[in-house]
Amino acid sequence: MKPIYVTQPTLPPLEEFLPYLEKIWDNKILTNGGEFHQQLEQVLCEYLGVKHLSLFTNGTIALITALQALRITGEVITTPYSFVATAHSLLWNGIKPVFVDIDPITLNLDPAKIEAAITPQTTAIMPVHCYGYPCDVERIQQIADNYNLKVIYDAAHAFGVQDKSGGGILNYGDLSVLSFHATKVFNTFEGGAIICPDEKTKRRIDHLKNFGFVDEVTVVAAGINGKMSEINAAFGLLQLKGIDEALGQRKKIDARYREGLKNIAGIRCTNIGEHVANYAYFPIFVEQNRDALYEKLKANGIFGRRYFYPLISDFPMYRALPSAAAANLPVAQKISHEVICLPMYPNLTNEEIDFIISLIIDFSVT
């Protein structure tokens, strides 16, 4: 059997992409808000149910720019249980991350722990919709309103996710940031976006992602080069045509995993309602010897990931922070030593899923 990785991009037939490339070659516009870039912003707003969206070259640059757009300084409360880009975006802006523990069910920032971490230097909260599972957005917003804080959601995993009432989760907070990396539910090879609520904020974001230029002789901010190319935007337009089918297939894979794993001792799955899921990942919790199972899977060509291990707070640039102490983050520490994300992508076959399940069953009885 060929190696099976935790994620694998779904690629459309090359012949479907060629007309887009031909048009780019004919237009001679490769970047700077070309035709496909503008189209993708429009159709993504419609699909996601958001008012304004600004495309970026990747999600990390989008996070860095979102913090700049809201002029965030001082301290920002965030989660240790995420990809390092979440906290790195703070350091790149000269902001001090303050880590708060996570909820053991949703694996997201625990609202009950946030207020104790607020200081006079706190200016914002940066939660993460981990694995695409929505944060408790109402409680977080209430805390932010009480303390006059901004909220920027790292929504890298949350493409198309809805809240309990069926509204888009990306409409919460002051800004939400998406990643369109090749491993994500929706991808543009590399890419990202900032979701914002009003046209004025979008203009500022668009200026910041293009060096601060307003026109060819006017620069209004110390911006960055965060523009998405026409090739990436064109690929995104093509990918969006098949997104509903891809999400449907992910749901089927999720169900097959759950059925096959439901009675295995020492293994449990997440318990998040289907109505809020986009099936971006399939994490399992291994009560004992997680790393031994990880190595067993790898020895059999199954390359899962220990998302997220180590915690961000354990890396050298963060571990000296008082909030990074392991005693301050008991739930995150525990979860980081239990989770394996199993392969999850639309082209995963039933035979491959069943093989993975059989390896886990064999591990549990030995």
CA-CA distance, 161 to 115, in Å (whole number)? 27
| Contact yes or no for 65/193 (Cβ under 8 A) | no
Among the three residues 192, 209, 241, which one is the final residue of a domain in this structure? 241
> Do 204 and 258 lie in a common domain?
no
Among the three residues 210, 241, 272, which one is the final residue of a domain in this structure? 241
Assign 226 a pLDDT band (cuts: 50, 70, 90).
Answer: very high
> Do 182 and 54 lie in a common domain?
yes
pLDDT in tens, 88-98: 999 999 999 99
206 pLDDT higher than 60: yes
> Do 171 and 225 lie in a common domain?
yes
CA atoms within 13 Å, Cβ hemisphere of 21: 5
CA-CA distance, 173 to 3, in Å (whole number)? 40
| Contact yes or no for 78/97 (Cβ under 8 A) | yes
Percent of residues, the chain, with pLDDT higher than 70: 99
Could you list the residue range(s) of the whole structural domain that residue 226 is in? Answer: 14-241
270 pLDDT higher than 70: yes
214 pLDDT higher than 60: yes
Q: Which domain CATH number covers 162?
A: 3.40.640.10
Whether 3 maps to a domain, the answer reads: no
> Do 216 and 338 lie in a common domain?
no
> Do 234 and 252 lie in a common domain?
no
Whether 6 maps to a domain, the answer reads: no
Structural domains of the chain, count: 2
> Do 176 and 41 lie in a common domain?
yes
- C-beta atoms surrounding 75 within 10 Å: 20
> Do 125 and 259 lie in a common domain?
no
Whether 2 maps to a domain, the answer reads: no
Lowest mean pLDDT among 57-66, 158-167, 205-214: 158-167
273 pLDDT higher than 80: no
> Do 152 and 227 lie in a common domain?
yes
pLDDT at 275: 56
Whether 94 maps to a domain, the answer reads: yes
> Do 236 and 317 lie in a common domain?
no
167 pLDDT higher than 90: no
Among the three residues 209, 241, 273, which one is the final residue of a domain in this structure? 241
Whether 154 maps to a domain, the answer reads: yes
Whether 299 maps to a domain, the answer reads: yes
> Do 46 and 164 lie in a common domain?
yes
Whether 1 maps to a domain, the answer reads: no
| Contact yes or no for 280/344 (Cβ under 8 A) | yes
